[in-house]
Amino acid sequence: MHTNSEKFFKNIEIEIGNLANAYELVSNEIDKLDQENQEEDQLKTTAGQVIAATENVEFTMLLKLLNRAITSFKREMKASLNDYFYMKDAGILREQSAIHIKLQIDTLCKRHKEFTSKPVPDDLLKKILGRNYYFHKNINKLTSETILEYFEMNYAMILDEQV
């Protein structure tokens, strides 16, 4: 039987998994585009130039997909604050339940590393990710401890505002 804490952290684990899956998808699709691009370079036709422009659109769309995945993750983390506060106030929060998210964070960091090894121009990444660029660049600092700190810090700030 799962406790409320385990269910809460299972949801966080799912969200981290979704973000890891988005990084994996984008990485794999970039590899496919690179392979197609290499094949087209061998053809050296004017039609290849048209296709290369189309690939740039595909590339941009992949980065936009990644941006939406990051935004979705951040939105869910923010929405989860209320659940965290509720459980903390009710005394039913078991922070050791957060160990369940460690494996997903490790997977996310692995997928992120695979993505960052791709030839993605940093200026394009900054442009498309916008405010999510900083989060993307620092994903490797995400741990189960930093997630707990995020919840605890926000909880402490809410308590301070209520006084």
pLDDT at site 45:
44
Question: Which residues contact residue 111 at a Cβ distance below 8 angstroms, ignoring those fewer than 6 apart?
Answer: 20, 21, 23, 24, 27
CB 116 within 8 A of CB 53: no
More confident residue, 33 or 137: 137
The H helix count followed by the E strand count for the chain is: 6, 0
Average pLDDT value for residue range 3-16: 87
User: What is the rounded CA–CA span in Å between residue 72 and residue 137?
Assistant: 17
Single pTM value for the model: 0.83
DSSP state of 141: G
